[in-house]
Amino acid sequence: METLIDTLKAMQKVTCTELAASLGIEPAEAIKMLREYEELGEVVSVNGYWSVSERQTGVKEKKVTVCKVERKSRPVVSRKEREPLNRCDILSTLAHGGAMTTAEIAIAVGRADCVRSLVSAMEKLCRDGMVIKLGQGKGCKWMRVKETGENLPAEPKVVSVEKTPGKAFSQPAGVALPVQEAATQEEIKTDTVGDIVQSLPSFTETRANGLILPSLHMANRELRRAKSHVQKWERVCAALRELNKHQDIVRQIVDSSSRIVSEK
């Protein structure tokens, strides 16, 4: 019996046929002996393989305990709990980084998740004259204004337009108001109510000796009359505009009418 146990200890895990060949006995006799040892609890059979039991070897299988490392979640700081962004941080970032986009500024000041909210802060700094906005849209950049003010954008030049009577002139680019309106803008600002009333012939013609302010009813009547004149002239301008599109036809009509008159 000791021979079989010693053989199993040496071979660790064998089949019945391998054990019988090692002992030099018949497989039937080997299986009979293994069954006797199995009843005594000295050998065990697992999936057709025989081995010495733990009680016989005196060595227990070590159970490997897997230590689960718990991940420490990073503390999530909500936007409300954050300290408010100081404009000095933005200006300092621009002073060292030069012209930067809004996304680059947000990353530099630790607000990469608040790019959109940073745009309003940059617009306010621009209105306060501390930064300059370069370009438009998502790709625009921001630059800090130097203390000397040398990098401030140049003021738009005022284009002087000479008035030529009887000739049309093109409106200069960048001028919001028409030239005639821009020229009379200062006059409108400085005119008083008396000056305006004196310029109306309907009041000055009948009251040459002294000025009497009109009533609100009369002023509204004159306003309606003036609007009526404006509408008439707008219709005339629209008609002339259409005629200018067909100058060849108009010229032919004029030539034919003048020829008819000369024949008469």
The yes/no answer on whether domain 2-57 falls in CATH 1.10.10.10 is yes
CA distance 103 to 152: 23
Q: What fold characterizes domain 87-144?
A: Arc Repressor Mutant, subunit A (1.10.10)
Nearest to 145 by CA among 157, 156, 134: 134
* Predicted confidence (pLDDT) per residue in 39-54, tens digit: 888 888 887 788 887 7
Q: What does the H/E/C string look like for 180-241?
A: HHHHCHHHHHHCCHHHHHHCCHHHHCCCCCCCCCCCHHHHHHHHHHHHHHHHHHHHHHHHHH
- Mean pLDDT over 194-209 rounds to 58
CA distance 116 to 134: 17
The domain ranges of the chain are 2-57, 87-144, 179-245
* Predicted confidence (pLDDT) per residue in 222-247, tens digit: 888 888 888 889 888 888 888 888 88
* Predicted confidence (pLDDT) per residue in 162-180, tens digit: 444 444 444 444 444 444 4
CA distance 99 to 168: 44
Q: Give the pLDDT band (50/70/90) at residue 60.
A: very low
Nearest to 5 by CA among 31, 26, 34, 46: 34
List, in order, residues 6 or more apart from 262 with CB less than 8 Å away: none
Q: Indicate the pTM of the whole model.
A: 0.30
Q: Which has the minimum average pLDDT: 78-82, 134-138, 194-198, 204-208?
A: 204-208
